[in-house]
Each structure stands twice: as C-alpha cells, then as structure tokens.
Amino acid sequence: MPIDPRDAIWNEANDLLYRATYAEALKTALLARWVWLDSITKITVAISSGGAALAGLVFWKNSDYTFLWPMFTSASALLAILSRQLNVAEKLKAHATSAVSLTMLAIDIGSLIVRMKINAGFSIAEFEKKVLGFRGRYGMEVSKFPFDLLLTEKLRVRTQAAVTKALGPQ
C-alpha cells in the first residue's frame, strides 16, 4: 500500500524537527562545558599570576603551606597551555554559531509543521521542496560537528532524553 505523499512530508518534517532540536541541545550543552572550562582556566590564571608575589610570600612564611604555591602556579600554567592548545576560543565561537543556526532551523521546521496543520491540503510540491531544503541545511550544520573532547556518551544520552521528553518520541 503506497504512502500518501503528505504523510511522508509530515513524517520527514517531524523527524527533522527532532534531529535539529537534538543537535541544537547537544551544541548548547557542549558550549556550556567549554564556557565552564574557559572560565575556570581564566580564574586560576588570574589568581595565580595576579597575586603571585603576595601569595607566594604568604605561603613561604608558613612552612606548612610552602608546597601549595608551586603546585597551584604549575596547575594554572598547565591549564593556560591546555586552553590554548585545545583552541577553546574557537570552539566557543563554533558551538555558539552552530547552536544559533540549529535553533533557527528548528523554528523554521516548526513553522512549516504549523502551516501543514492549518492547511491539511497543502501543496505537495511546495512543501516537499521546503522539507528537502531543511534537510540540506541540517546536513550542512551536522557536517560541521568535529570531534569534541567534551562530548561524552552520558551527555548524548542525557540530551536525547531531554529532547524526547520535550518533543515526544519520534
């Protein structure tokens, strides 16, 4: 039994909405993780370098704490080097840009779904073209997903559960 073309458009639009929303939520979660890492790095570097002389003197006067200062300054230097090597600033920009693009895509798909609900006899050719255009935009955004050190399976599962709860199972 052949499927009605309108049903196929409905199914594809709903599937794309789910996928775009999931990808946007994942990008937003990754952005939050990178912002946290960037903030911690900047704070520790500022504390260790800004008050180095004063804090060093305080630590050296009390022999019980002399080991802390070299450990703290070494850790902050290591964080600064890692931050630079991991291209944190570039990752922040890429994730933020992608999250915005995916949000706009999800809004556009949602608007198409609303139009289909309002006009159940919508033009198959017009809506097919729109859905295929959205698939292309989605594909372009997903292709920009490089390997990410902070993307874990736990984050994927938690994000998918949140999206499924928000949109319902697909």
Domain range list for the chain? 5-165
CA quadruple 142, 147, 150, 153: dihedral, nearest 10:
70
Please report the pLDDT score of residue 99 as a whole number. Answer: 95
Please report the pLDDT score of residue 3 as a whole number. Answer: 80
Exposed/middle/buried for residue 146 (C-beta within 10 Å: 0-12, 13-18, 19+): exposed
Give yes or no for residue 88 having a pLDDT over 70. Answer: yes
Q: pTM to 2 decimals? A: 0.82
Give yes or no for residue 70 having a pLDDT over 80. Answer: no
Quick one: pLDDT band at residue 169, thresholds 50, 70, 90? low
At 47 the three-state DSSP class reads helix
The rounded distance, in Å, linking the Cα atoms of 100 and 6 is 29
Please report the pLDDT score of residue 14 as a whole number. Answer: 96
The rounded distance, in Å, linking the Cα atoms of 31 and 96 is 7
